[in-house]
Amino acid sequence: MSMKKNYVVETIRKAQMVQLLAEGKRMDERALDQLRPLTIETGVIQKANGSARVTLGNTQVIAGVKIATGIPFPDTPDKGILMVNAEILPMSSPYAEPGPPSEEAIELARVVDRGIRESEMVDLGKLGLVPGKTVIAVFVDCNIMNVDGNLFDATSYAVVSALRTAKMKKYVVKDDKAEATEEMVPVPVERTPVSVTLARIGDRLVVDPNTEEEASMDMRITITTDDDGNICASQKGEASTISPAQVLEAADTSIRVGKQIRAQIMESTK
């Protein structure tokens, strides 16, 4: 959520920040490509099929997976359904409000969903039950609990961690009818996509912007990579531009930084 609320203060802060960045420094003394402390707890909601609480600095997100049967989309009759949604809770910041989802919340949910979907993290082919009639539907809902910048990455890590640890009932098909058994099996997870968001402040790119940095950024770019270092989703944001050279720089940074984050996610979701 963008927090450009106090024009004068932010303009002064930005000038300071740009000056520091010219020396390769950030306000909170992080390296330009350094994440804030990332914590991942899984299994925090017992009623969910899978869940995770992620904190990235002071940003906190809880993701919960709920699994049910559903009707497949007409163009993919034998594939399961995956839906990722996010809500920026009114409690998450003094600037958040209840009501229909804002443009920012919609973009957040769609960009996170895109990274998970396009990386083929969940093998939807294994979630078909009765072609054209019944498939397994995986819903991942994210509650943004506290906003301190970089909701894109925190939410994405929460979704990936919740899915990696989710268990669902095993279904058997009898006479074209799907029946749930008591046996619990893992969700068919094949890949571990990792989203890395960079903000441009002045002319420098910084990884994992906090609220203060987001208020001063001109441009934001999120790039999601998979286990083989392939790029599977991206989104440029904010009303500014990026040079082609900086797009490629951001891609290389995302591949490199993504590798470390993936290792932590895998370790936390073993």
Contact 224, 155 (CB under 8 A): no
Q: Of 31-39, 113-121, 131-139, 260-268, which segment contacts another protein by CB under 8 A?
A: 113-121
CB under 8 A: which stretch of 19-27, 99-107, 141-149, 205-213 binds another protein? 99-107
The single residue among 76, 93, 146, 264 that binds another protein, judged by CB under 8 A, is: 76
118 lies in the binding site for another protein (CB under 8 A): yes
Q: How long is the chain? A: 270
Nearest approach, Cβ of residue 117 and another protein (Å): 8
Give which of 140, 147, 156 is closest to 235, Cα–Cα.
Answer: 156
Residue 81 CA to residue 50 CA, distance in Å, equals 16
Q: Does 156 bind another protein (CB under 8 A)?
A: no
Of 120, 167, 256, 266, the residue at the interface with another protein (CB under 8 A) is 120
DSSP 126: G
- Dihedral-angle region of residue 96 (phi above 0 means left; psi in -120 to 50 means alpha; beta otherwise): beta
Min CB(171)–another protein separation in Å: 21
Residues 209, 215, 220, 224, CA torsion sign:
positive
- Read off the tokens for 69: 């049967």
In the complex, least distance from residue 83 CB atom to another protein, rounded to whole angstroms: 11
Site string for another protein, 174-213 (x = CB under 8 A): ----------------------------------------
36 Rama class: left (phi>0) / alpha (psi -120 to 50) / beta: beta
Q: Compare residues 40 and 257 and give the one whose CB is closer to another protein.
A: 257
For residues 52 and 58, give the distance between their C-alpha atoms in angstroms, rounded to a whole number: 16
Residue 140 CA to residue 165 CA, distance in Å, equals 12
Segment interacting with another protein (CB under 8 A) among 34-42, 62-70, 243-251, 260-268: 243-251
Q: What x/- string results for residues 3 through 32 when contact with another protein is judged by CB under 8 A?
A: ----x-------------------------
Q: Tell me which residue of 136, 163, 160, 119 sits closest to 79, measured CA to CA.
A: 136
- As measured in angstroms, the least distance from the Cβ of 105 to another protein is 10
| Residue 251 binds to another protein (criterion: CB under 8 A) | yes
Give helix 103-118 / helix 151-164 axis angle, nearest 10°. Answer: 40
Site size toward another protein (CB under 8 A) is 38
Backbone angles phi and psi of 145, in degrees to 5: -90, -40
Binding residues for another protein (CB under 8 A): 7, 75-76, 79, 103, 106-107, 109-110, 114, 117-120, 221, 223, 226, 229-244, 247-248, 251-252, 255
